[in-house]
Amino acid sequence: MKSTKFSAKVLATFILTGALAVPAFAGATLRGVDYINNPSGASPSIDAKNLRNEQDADSQSQTAETINDDVEKTETGKVTIIDGIRVPTNIKSDEAILADFAQLSGGGANMDWGNYYPSANSIPVGNADETWLRNFGAYSRENTTDKVCYLTFDLGYENGHTISIMETLKKHNAPATFFVTGACIKSNPEIVLAIAKNGFTVGNHTLNHKNMSNVTTKELFYTEVNTVEEQYETLTGHPMNRYYRPPEGKSSQAQLLLARAMGYKTMLWSVAYKDYDEKAQPGRSSALATLNKRIHPGAIVLLHATSSTNASILDELLTGWESAGYTFKSLDELPENEFSGV
């Protein structure tokens, strides 16, 4: 949403005095073995010659139909592909967001998302029941016995590995979602544009990767999320895909409801490992062993695009998962109501 249409100031003006209170997050006290964080820091410069031609995705699309001004456009259900960019077909109106926000209250994060893995390749136990999460538009996995998984990458800042990661994904015809911060869009717009132009989904990882425990009002939450939308739309000319990943997995029932009111699905994860510290990267063998033990049917996989280890192992990792019978799907293909009672 453009701030000229619907800003935090406008939001504050229309807040109802009788807004409903939102109870605290109903999560378990168990903290999972994976505590995922994006380290902060300035991103190094990227040599433009290493960037893929932003028009490559256009030339690779053989099903697209040429329309006005030579723009390539094809319908794929939840998204429309325009010039290689995945554009959501339905965006919640400002008026609808305003009406829903008026019924909600803010509240800082009081949950650290994580998973416990009972055994190799088993469904992990998360900090909250998946059925409960779905009631608030949040997901950590698909409920299935089919060997499918959803690849996602958190990109708080560019660390020189994103192009290599995209090239590997292209090699395997693997769709993926990159959750970017507003800081990353500002410092490395060419990287974010390359992600979008190469047909990958770009999701929202907040403006500054704040500790969401300190985002205690709905006005603050709105600013953290909406500003990234504005930056992305200015960069690409298209609205952002409505997938939200809270930094460090920190959230609350109140924030899940606010994200849903803004038209977002909150994407957590069921497979991850400690890959986020660039100064203490896991070894190749250790990383492969950990991820191969944790992959399971229906997994939403979280990897950090800032990780040198991830860039080096990704081809071997995906090859191994394909050999084990796994296929890769886009978040747009994630079922919404496969859990009973939802």
Sign of the four-CA dihedral 306, 110, 138, 31: positive
Q: 227, 190 in Cβ contact below 8 A?
A: no
Q: Does 38 reside within a domain?
A: no
pLDDT number for residue 21: 34
For residue 259, pLDDT over 50 is answered with yes
- In the residue annotation, 83 being an active-site residue is answered as no
Q: Does 269 reside within a domain?
A: yes
Mean pLDDT for 79-99 is 94
Which helix or strand (DSSP H or E) is residue 297 part of?
none
Catalytic entry in 161, 209, 296, 304: 304
Q: For residues 178, 181, 187 and 191, what is the CA-based torsion angle, rounded to 10 degrees?
A: 10
Which of 89, 82, 74, 69 shows the shortest CA–CA distance to 237? 82
For residue 57, pLDDT over 70 is answered with no
Q: Does 175 reside within a domain?
A: yes
pLDDT number for residue 51: 37
State which residues form the domain around 98. 8-14+49-117+128-333
**Domains of the chain: total:** 1
For residue 312, pLDDT over 90 is answered with yes
- Which 8-state DSSP code applies to residue 151? E
pLDDT grade, residue 16 (50/70/90)?
very low
Q: What is the CATH number of the domain that holds 244?
A: 3.20.20.370
| 320-325: long-range pairs with CB below 8 Å, 24+ | 320/288, 320/292, 321/149, 321/292, 321/295, 322/172, 324/147, 324/295, 325/147
Q: What is the pLDDT of residues 283-301, one digit of tens each?
A: 999 999 999 999 999 999 9
pLDDT grade, residue 336 (50/70/90)?
confident
Q: Does 146 reside within a domain?
A: yes
Catalytic entry in 58, 154, 275, 332: 154
164 vs 34, higher pLDDT: 164
pLDDT grade, residue 67 (50/70/90)?
very low
Q: Does 263 reside within a domain?
A: yes
pLDDT number for residue 76: 59
Q: What is the pLDDT of residues 100-150, one digit of tens each?
A: 999 999 999 999 999 999 999 999 999 898 999 999 999 999 999 999 999
- In the residue annotation, 304 being an active-site residue is answered as yes
Q: Does 76 reside within a domain?
A: yes
27 vs 244, higher pLDDT: 244
Which of 144, 165, 110, 157 shows the shortest CA–CA distance to 312? 165
Q: Which of 1-5, 131-135, 182-186, 244-248 has the lowest mean pLDDT?
A: 1-5
Which of 110, 127, 90, 92 shows the shortest CA–CA distance to 24? 110
pLDDT number for residue 333: 96
Q: 242, 232 in Cβ contact below 8 A?
A: no
Which of 333, 336, 137 shows the shortest CA–CA distance to 251? 137
The Cα–Cα gap between 245 and 254 comes to 15
Q: 215, 108 in Cβ contact below 8 A?
A: yes
Residues linked to residue 60 through DSSP beta bridges, in sequence order? none
Q: Does 37 reside within a domain?
A: no
Q: Does 26 reside within a domain?
A: no
